[in-house]
Chain A
């Protein structure tokens, strides 16, 4: 059975929206970081789907995916390191309480 490209794109779009919703509404900082990973993985699904079913299929999309995965890993590592530094100063991972500079 052949799955059409629009199904892949729809899954990616839904995943992206779920990730965006989570990143904007969740209160736990770790969940926020995970939601960002969801958004980045939506991109990966898109790229891989396009590299097979796109207008000009080719392997570049898969190579791009490798780069996005690597960079996403680095990004979440930095994010967690900063979160740990924050946790040491103020024992919370609740983003609602990060309001030192509200004005």
Chain B
């Protein structure tokens, strides 16, 4: 490609990425040269500013861009699918920074500024993952997010638990990367290209030529390797240890942003690459392929919900709950319909609100009680009614009980599965949801019906109090009026049910 070509692109559509990259770079330099002279929260607040700016430009892109805009043969592609996920990532990272500002008071993380700009570089990785249509950039985005997360998990340098969970994260992450790449290398071998739209056509040709076995192998490798990022079975075992050892804001970041980024990548990569592959029983993706994903979803729901029953550490319990949520989120993919995009987005939106609420409450309570045990919640209602009621709302939403955002999210997924006549998966979803009530209500029982060690009011920092309160209100509000969000998603990102312009526009 000539140099001239690079400048002939309109780079303004990539402003959100450039802003995040710029802020991450400038903040690290600022910390290097003026770190001592800055206030405690300066770097955190500046990163928050960067995220808000990037968010504004994502909105500008949504308003101004009707057609997907592709850079360098879809290496990066600005489309509604990516934009929708970018909004989730930006929101999630902004929430992470908001709780981090209070978390830093504990002084466990000695490298405050590193914390913030690693968060930004992780966010950049997530944004690249959501908006690329090329194996190479997808992989680089994935690794940028992963490498930043490894370090962030281990940032409590003096804590053995944190070190250990970071090491476990690196090792399992490394294996997952290798497995994903191995799948990618087979895909490349059959297609000779890394652009996923071309892969889509050439994989179909290769399928016709009798390379089915290698295609199945590539699919299995990709699905298993990417299951790591969304913490779905069969690659979920890292989650409990990592969630427990990581600083609480990072746990929330992993639970929401990292998982949503994984979903953005999985949906785009698997759906487009394998869409046209034929097989003996009809299109591969809608028969064996979705059966494979269906098994992954079922295994995640069962394992996550059953293992969560016997946890006593609340962060560990949330990790298993997150595995189960990943299972629910895979359900609309079996097989994908035109509605899956809005179903998944709404679910992730509800999950974003609720998860950050839960982890903020966990942070406040476990800091005061000096323990992350479930027992720490005993008698919370008598000590801080607002915290207890908010936590109740979050738990109801995670369990999927009306009127909360989580109820409608799960309801949409369930109805989608029923419409597909996917009865076995719907049945597993219902049964495991009922199982999950037990541990979600376990926390509620602790808060209302158990006596705590003391009755002294819980001291909650003002900022966190407001944060949790607003999230609780929002959870109920979007549970009462889910149409506000779904209509917006339908109208803005999914106007003709084309998954936010994700599908190729050019004709084969």
The docked-state distance in angstroms from the alpha carbon of A67 to that of B136 is 8
The docked-state distance in angstroms from the alpha carbon of A61 to that of B135 is 11
Q: Is the CB of A55 within 8 A of B170?
A: no
B194 adjacent to chain A (CB < 8 Å):
yes
- B residues near A90, Cβ cutoff 8 Å: 160, 163
The docked-state distance in angstroms from the alpha carbon of A42 to that of B453 is 56
B74 adjacent to chain A (CB < 8 Å):
no
Given the interface pairs A82-B150, A101-B245, the reply to whether A58 lies near B174 with Cβ below 8 Å is no
Partner of A55 from the list B179, B192, B194 (CB cut-off 8 Å) is B192
Mask, B192-233, CB within 8 Å of A = 1, is: 111000000010001001010000000000000000000000
- A residues near B178, Cβ cutoff 8 Å: 16, 19-20, 36, 39-40, 42-43
Category for how many chain A residues contact B: 35 or more
Category for how many chain B residues contact A: 35 or more
Q: Is the CB of A46 within 8 A of B182?
A: yes
- A residues near B244, Cβ cutoff 8 Å: 101
- A residues near B211, Cβ cutoff 8 Å: 55
Q: Is the CB of A43 within 8 A of B181?
A: yes
| Chain B: minimal CB distance from A13 (Å) | 9
Which chain B residues numbered 145 to 183 have a C-beta less than 8 Å away from chain A?
Answer: 146-147, 150-151, 154, 157-161, 163-168, 170-171, 173-175, 177-179, 181-182
- B residues near A23, Cβ cutoff 8 Å: 171, 174-175
Given the interface pairs A68-B139, A82-B150, the reply to whether A47 lies near B188 with Cβ below 8 Å is yes
- A residues near B311, Cβ cutoff 8 Å: 103
Q: Is the CB of B140 within 8 A of A71?
A: yes
| Chain B: minimal CB distance from A52 (Å) | 11
Mask, A34-52, CB within 8 Å of B = 1, is: 0010011011001101110
| Chain B: minimal CB distance from A34 (Å) | 11
Partner of B240 from the list A16, A47, A101 (CB cut-off 8 Å) is A101
Q: Is the CB of B136 within 8 A of A63?
A: yes
Q: Is the CB of B189 within 8 A of A46?
A: yes
- B residues near A29, Cβ cutoff 8 Å: 167, 171
- A residues near B316, Cβ cutoff 8 Å: 101, 103
- A residues near B202, Cβ cutoff 8 Å: 55-56
Given the interface pairs A71-B140, A74-B147, A101-B241, the reply to whether A89 lies near B163 with Cβ below 8 Å is yes
Partner of A98 from the list B164, B181, B209 (CB cut-off 8 Å) is B164
Q: Is the CB of A82 within 8 A of B189?
A: no
Q: Is the CB of B170 within 8 A of A75?
A: yes
Q: Is the CB of B150 within 8 A of A58?
A: no
Q: Is the CB of B189 within 8 A of A55?
A: yes
Residue of B with least CB distance to A99: B164
B191 adjacent to chain A (CB < 8 Å):
yes
Partner of A54 from the list B146, B171, B189 (CB cut-off 8 Å) is B189
Q: Which of A12, A71, A82: most chain B Cβ within 10 A? A: A82
| Chain A: minimal CB distance from B398 (Å) | 21
The docked-state distance in angstroms from the alpha carbon of A10 to that of B157 is 42
B21 adjacent to chain A (CB < 8 Å):
no
B186 adjacent to chain A (CB < 8 Å):
yes
Q: Is the CB of B147 within 8 A of A75?
A: yes
Q: Is the CB of B240 within 8 A of A58?
A: no
| Chain B: minimal CB distance from A90 (Å) | 6
Mask, B305-340, CB within 8 Å of A = 1, is: 000000111001000000000000000000000000
Residue of A with least CB distance to B192: A56
Q: Is the CB of B164 within 8 A of A79?
A: no
Mask, A59-103, CB within 8 Å of B = 1, is: 011011001100100111011011101100110000100101101
Q: Which 6 residue pairs spanning A and B have beta carbons closest together?
A: A56-B192, A39-B178, A50-B189, A46-B185, A36-B174, A86-B163
Q: What are 16 A-B pairs with beta-carbon distances under 8 A?
A: A23-B171, A29-B171, A33-B174, A39-B179, A46-B185, A49-B189, A50-B189, A64-B135, A64-B185, A64-B194, A67-B139, A75-B147, A79-B171, A86-B167, A101-B165, A103-B240
Given contacts A46-B185, A74-B143, A90-B160, 10 further A-B contacts (CB under 8 A): A40-B177, A46-B189, A55-B206, A56-B191, A67-B139, A71-B139, A75-B147, A85-B163, A85-B166, A95-B171
